[in-house]
Amino acid sequence: MQTPISTKADQTQLDALENGCGILLWDAATIVQHNGPDTLDLLHRLTTKELLGVTEGHARRTALTSDKGRVVDVFLVAHVAENQLLLISDSPNSERMVSAIDYYTIIEDAELIDLSKTHTRISLVGPNARRVVESTLNTGIEPDATATIAFGDDPVYMASDTSRGVEWVDVIYDTAIFSRLVGAFGNSGGVAVDAANFELFRIDKEIPGSDKEYGEHANPIEAGLLHLIDWDKGCYVGQEVIARLDAYDKVQRNVKVLQSNAPLEEGAKLTAESKPAGVVTSASKLESADGNFLSLALVRKAYLDSDTEFDANGTTATVR
């Protein structure tokens, strides 16, 4: 008889993310260096957040939307040095960000260098994230700030980000030194977290994911990125459409956490009383401590109330 594969969540990893510091090593993420005197002004004109105030040593997350108001990418703008930014996105497809920004770079003195293949990204997540960074690298980092230090002979870039509702520090460095650095963070109290457990944590915290809750299929309001929109900053690509969606209350869906007693499938259509009610965008395969499976879904506005019941390809799910 085949031994069933454990689908239980790892409480040690989840506890680190919730109460300590989880270390997430990204298999693939977008890491782009943006050099030149016009970079910040260009990104300010293109994206949803006010960026002109992101002075050297600071960081802010923003969204790049299309002229139709759909999300192209969401990334952290880390102002690491004079005329030098690091753009860090959760998307494994760096070409998407590079080609979109490059398209709009016409008369600006700005250059994009894709570091995604040569550099590695670690995210330290949890209330002790900044403390672990400080004790490992002997450098403090404030919320929404950047710091650069030498680890041996190699530069290590750090950027903290408060936009996800949890303490979060991204660490970017040359791939060649990654094992030494991960070990050092572990020695300072960080706990390595695998992708499946991090995904469960992300869903539980209702943190929108790249190409899941947000992407070309969704506008930033319905995708749970409302906090990344500065309404009084003036024009950016897609601003007119997004402002209209908000002003006329035209947003039709919202991100919601669903719970079920069996794992759902990403992409599964939701129905309520036989009517279309939404779509599952992220689904954890891990069983939580309470025996439930958690998912995120883009749910139509008529069905947002807690305990609303859906059918998802034969599995019953309810709004948490």
* Options 14-22, 88-96, 99-107, 245-253: segment touching other proteins (CB under 8 A): 99-107
- Could you tell me if 83 and 35 are in contact, meaning their C-beta atoms sit under 8 angstroms apart? yes
| Minimum distance from residue 115 beta carbon to other proteins (Å) | 22
Enter the tokens of residue 44. Answer: 């300010």
- Could you tell me if 102 and 96 are in contact, meaning their C-beta atoms sit under 8 angstroms apart? no
| Minimum distance from residue 235 beta carbon to other proteins (Å) | 5
Among 3, 27, 103, 150, binds other proteins (CB under 8 A): 103
| Minimum distance from residue 163 beta carbon to other proteins (Å) | 22
Told to check if 216 binds other proteins by CB under 8 A, we report no
Site string for other proteins, 224-253 (x = CB under 8 A): -----------xxxxxxx------------
Told to check if 107 binds other proteins by CB under 8 A, we report yes
Cβ nearer to other proteins, comparing 243 with 272: 243
Cβ nearer to other proteins, comparing 74 with 237: 237
Region 134-193 residues binding other proteins, contact defined as CB under 8 A: none
Region 46-65 residues binding other proteins, contact defined as CB under 8 A: 46
| Minimum distance from residue 43 beta carbon to other proteins (Å) | 9
Hunting for tokens 């309470």 — which residue is that?
290
Cβ nearer to other proteins, comparing 184 with 251: 251
Closest CA to 99 of 69, 66, 70: 66
Told to check if 75 binds other proteins by CB under 8 A, we report no
Cβ nearer to other proteins, comparing 41 with 174: 41
| Minimum distance from residue 108 beta carbon to other proteins (Å) | 7
Told to check if 45 binds other proteins by CB under 8 A, we report yes
Told to check if 42 binds other proteins by CB under 8 A, we report yes
| Minimum distance from residue 39 beta carbon to other proteins (Å) | 11
Written in H, E and C, the secondary structure of the chain is CCCCCCCECCHHHHHHHHHCCEEEECCCCEEEEEECCCHHHHHHHHECCCCCCCCCCEEEEEEEECCCCCEEEEEEEEEEECCEEEEEECCCCHHHHHHHHHHHCCCCCCEEEECCCCEEEEEEECCCHHHHHHHHHCCCCCCCEEEEEEECCEEEEEEECCCCCCCEEEEEEEHHHHHHHHHHHHHCCCEEECHHHHHHHHHHCCCCCECCCECCCCCCCCCCCHHHCCCCCCCCCCHHHHHHHHHCCCCCEEEEEEEECCCCCCCCEEEECCEEEEEEEEECCCECCCCCEEEEEEEEHHHCCCCCEEEECCEEEEEC
Cβ nearer to other proteins, comparing 240 with 265: 240
Told to check if 104 binds other proteins by CB under 8 A, we report yes
Told to check if 311 binds other proteins by CB under 8 A, we report no
Residues that bind other proteins (CB under 8 A): 42, 45-46, 67, 103-108, 235-241
